[in-house]
């Protein structure tokens, strides 16, 4: 059994990123890509069941940390760029 993700700030960003990707996947022009992105996002979302689905603000994006003991959150760098519209 996999450990459920904890309700932490970086995890709020990751969950928001997954939801964003899931919603945006509907506009992908290649059907196979759309299907694959939706499948992967839907598969990852249950791992964040214990994470609050709060709204993410620009200040949340700036405070995300991937240094020190948070280095396993390096993927939040891409998520923050995605949510910021980059």
Query: pLDDT band at 86, cuts 50/70/90?
Result: low
pTM of the predicted structure, to 2 decimals = 0.76
* pLDDT at 82 > cutoff 90: no
13's CB contacts (< 8 A; 6+ apart) are 56, 60, 61, 64, 76, 79, 80, 83
pLDDT in tens, 21-46: 999 999 999 999 999 999 999 999 99
> How far does the chain reach from its first CA to its final CA, in angstroms?
35
Q: Which residue has the higher pLDDT, 36 or 71?
A: 36
Q: Which residue has the higher pLDDT, 39 or 54?
A: 39
Query: pLDDT band at 1, cuts 50/70/90?
Result: very low
């Amino acid at each position: 059994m996999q450990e459920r993700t904890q309700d932490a700030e970086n995890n709020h960003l990751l969950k928001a990123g997954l939801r964003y990707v899931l919603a945006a996947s509907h506009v992908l022009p290649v059907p196979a890509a759309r299907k694959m992105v939706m499948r992967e996002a839907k598969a990852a979302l249950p791992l964040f069941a214990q994470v609050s689905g709060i709204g993410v603000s620009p200040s949340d994006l700036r405070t995300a940390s991937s240094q020190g003991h948070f280095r396993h959150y390096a993927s939040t760098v891409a998520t923050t760029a995605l949510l910021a519209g980059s």
